[in-house]
Structure 1
Amino acid sequence: MRQIQFEELPSRVVVVTWQNGDKQIFFGEDAVALIKAIENTTTSINKQCSCQQRKL
């Protein structure tokens, strides 16, 4: 993924721009699942970074 955009329209929409420039649009439950996966990944990365900073 090169870029991701979230839109709150009548239903959630996620637009993913891939490394090759192609765009893919996700609607409804697919958009919600993608948003949750990204939020979970971001939370996990932030926790790992916080732990490493405390060790320094």
Structure 2
Amino acid sequence: SLGYGACPDLEDRAKIANLLEPERIGVELSEEFQLHPEQSTDAIVIHHPEAKYFNAGGRS
């Protein structure tokens, strides 16, 4: 997700917002690149065929 270690630049959120038009579902991007309503979130999710899901609890 934007703002975390892999994608620290929140300004990139504007590019995603331009593509997805979040206002269609009532989500807006503030001048500080925050999503509103507050509980809204975004992420870039990319599947890789060799990716493995891990379980933090140690069991599969």
TM-score band, normalised by shorter chain: under 0.3
Name the one with the larger strand percent. Answer: 1
TM-score, structure 1 as length reference: 0.22
Normalised TM-score (structure 2): 0.21
Instruction: Please identify which structure carries the higher helix content.
Output: 1
Q: With a CA cutoff of 8 Å and minimum separation of 6, indicate the structure with the bigger relative contact order.
A: 2
